[in-house]
Structure 1
Amino acid sequence: MLTGTAPTPGGSATAGTAGLPPDLIVTGEAVALEIRPASFLLRMLGGLLDAAVYVAVLIALVLALASSAGTNQARLQTLTIVSLVAVVIIVPTAVETLTRGRSLGKLATGVRIVRDDGGPIRFRHAFIRALTGFGELWLTVGSVAVVCALVNSRGKRVGDLLAGTYAARVRDDGRRPAPLVMPPELAAWAATADIRALPDGLALAARRFLDRTGSMEPGARRALGSQLAARIEPLVAPPPPWGTHPERFVAAVLVARRDREYAVGSAAQQRIDAETAELRRLPHEIPD
């Protein structure tokens, strides 16, 4: 394949000269994601909202336990400690695990906790963050977390450093990428090519790269396009015609996969609709 900067289907026809924003996160596929580290103010606001909710829940639990425990102080102390552990560690861990890094405060501020590579967090990440947060957030009234976030370029607190996570801005700004179209010179090749399933991370990286070609420097655009094309080419047979531009090859693969998946899904839905209609019709065909 040749390398160069050519108009990408569905993308801008000219490359930008401003380059990538300095705080844009780059994945392992060397493709810039639209998620960026959340500002310190957003993180603090979201943390305060979460803390207010957890404190309110803890107070309600302690009052309920005090009324049920009566004069048994030992039982009350035990239940209070259990409630504290549940509200400070167990509940935040469960919430961030089930919501993939979101909580009430983060939802209100448009923030999500993600891994350093931009992927969703799992139980391990959420548990480390919650366990560390007991010391840096609750015992020190957030002072340790504030200092750490201020000196870190991504606004990480200690829990994020240990878990390998950071807070990212994910609020939707209403923009949608333009749909990809098949490069005309590759339509005949794509119609008969055997295209294996692309790994989710590779397919997502390729789509995001094509969405951002217009904002990349020409050199970075050529390098990233060639790298993605080199990773996709072993999954395609036969290879594209000699001299195909990497960006147009990547676009052709994604369009072909999209169209084939849509055709398979449409055929399956038509079969389901036909079977449903037949099941609804049959009882009325049976004579009384």
Structure 2
Amino acid sequence: MTWADAGLVSGEAVELDVRAARLGSRVLALLIDLVAQLMAALLLGVVLMVVLLSLPGDIVDGALFGASQTVLLILVLVGYPVLMERFAGGRTLGKLAVGLRVVRADGGPVGVGQSLTRALVGVAVEWPGLVLPLLSWVASVTVMLSDPRGRRLGDLVAGTLVVHTRGAGIWRPAPPVVPPLLGWAGTLDLTWLDDGLALAVRQYLGRMHQLAEPDRTRLGRELWAEVSAVTSPPPPWAAPAPAYLAAVLAERGRRAAYRLGRTRLVTATLWPELTPPPLAIPAPLVVPAPPPAMPAPPAATLRPAAPAPPALWPAAPVPSTRQPAAPARADAPDR
């Protein structure tokens, strides 16, 4: 077990990459919790004084005042961590700020009974240490420094553990593939490259910036020796081991993505009802262009009059208004 390993194992017998909290981070979380407890004590003290002043004078005496202070002290020192760990997933305000969390020794969520046990032991022999304060403080620090997982007395009694909820460093992506190695990577036989070795290569490429020389170069060469033993053909030219490992890992991911795409295509063809519908991507908002102006109608032209249809019957004679001339008389003298 290493110093930064919490030693937690999942139900599938897989060791979890979780760091145990040590003395420095836990003291910082304790200081933040002390400030929060002090503010809670002041607020509850004001509420308590208002309640006591509102009671009749013959009821409030020294015994009631002392009992109220004891209850206030218990709420602040014991109730605060128990309630916070119950409703905040094993974290107090200080642990939330530092990135810590209380869990069971097997990695499960902490229970109310375990939180209460931790708080009672902490108040009695750790902080503020009602039983032999100075001696209990020295014993508590000694236990935390000597325990492989940095547990204090309350953790040992309650069967709990404080772990980090944030990673130790930034996970960086794998380095890009060198262009001259792209053609060679496409001809690799990756049949015997198993998932465990590929995961080890991925973790090395993601965390090699955290390793110091010469360990970084030595580990890269060892991984490349293992990878080259199960792949063929050999690389065409000499390059650093991280470049070879990145090319092999990228080609393995490309082939896996291709196989996954073909499998999904076959599944969508045979069982279309099992294939989720594609996500509807909303079309961008486009302001419609104004409609083109209608052309002006042509000017109206006079059509020629249609010829009159021929008459089917003869037209009736129109009566004349002129008087007919009188016939000439034979005996009228010539003029």
Return the TM-score normalized by structure 2: 0.46
Match of 1:58 in 2: 41
C-alpha separation between the residues in 1 aligned to 2:85 and 2:24? 20
Shift of 1:23: 3.4
Shift of 1:169: 1.4
Match of 2:105 in 1: 116
Shift of 1:99: 1.6
C-alpha separation between the residues in 1 aligned to 2:24 and 2:81? 21
Match of 2:4 in 1: 23
Matched, 1:139 2:134: no
3-state SS of paired residue (1:36): coil
Is the Cα–Cα contact under 8 Å of residues 121 and 154 in structure 2 kept in the other structure?
yes
C-alpha separation between the residues in 2 aligned to 1:210 and 1:118? 24
Shift of 1:212: 9.1
Trace 1:18-97 onto structure 2 (pairs within 5 A). Answer: 21=2, 23-24=4-5, 25-27=7-9, 29-70=12-53, 72=60, 73-97=62-86
Match of 1:171 in 2: 166
Shift of 1:40: 0.9
C-alpha separation between the residues in 2 aligned to 1:44 and 1:170? 16
Structure 1: where are the runs of 5+ without partners? 1-19, 179-183, 186-205, 219-250, 274-288
C-alpha separation between the residues in 2 aligned to 1:176 and 1:265? 35
Give the counterpart letter for 1:59 in structure 2.
L
Is the Cα–Cα contact under 8 Å of residues 100 and 163 in structure 2 kept in the other structure?
yes
Deviations 1:24-68 (A, max 9, x none): 224154422121111211011101211221123123322432343
Deviations 1:59-113 (A, max 9, x none): 3322432343246232222221112112222221111122221111111111111
Shift of 1:124: 2.3
Identical pairs, percent = 30
Trace 1:245-260 onto structure 2 (pairs within 5 A). Answer: none
Give the counterpart letter for 2:154 in structure 1.
G
Match of 2:90 in 1: 101
Is the Cα–Cα contact under 8 Å of residues 62 and 83 in structure 1 kept in the other structure?
yes
Is the Cα–Cα contact under 8 Å of residues 177 and 211 in structure 1 kept in the other structure?
no
Return the TM-score normalized by structure 1: 0.52
C-alpha separation between the residues in 2 aligned to 1:36 and 1:97? 22
Indicate how the Cα distance of structure 1 residues 148 and 74 shifts in structure 2: closer, same or farther if over 3 A, else same.
Answer: same
Number of residue pairs matched by the alignment: 191
Instruction: Work out which of the residue numbers 152, 157, 165 in structure 1 matches 2:152.
Output: 157
C-alpha separation between the residues in 2 aligned to 1:171 and 1:56? 27
C-alpha separation between the residues in 2 aligned to 1:40 and 1:134? 18
Indicate how the Cα distance of structure 1 residues 82 and 36 shifts in structure 2: closer, same or farther if over 3 A, else same.
Answer: same
C-alpha separation between the residues in 2 aligned to 1:264 and 1:157? 56
3-state SS of paired residue (1:51): helix
Larger helix fraction of residues: 1
C-alpha separation between the residues in 2 aligned to 1:266 and 1:39? 49
3-state SS of paired residue (1:32): coil
3-state SS of paired residue (2:102): strand
User: Which is bigger in relative contact order (C-alpha 8 A, separation at least 6)?
Assistant: 1
C-alpha separation between the residues in 2 aligned to 1:264 and 1:21? 50
Tell me how large the CA RMSD over aligned residues is: 4.4
Structure 2: where are the runs of 5+ without partners? 175-189, 205-218, 224-255, 281-335
3-state SS of paired residue (2:128): helix
Indicate how the Cα distance of structure 1 residues 122 and 177 shifts in structure 2: closer, same or farther if over 3 A, else same.
Answer: farther
C-alpha separation between the residues in 1 aligned to 2:73 and 2:3? 41
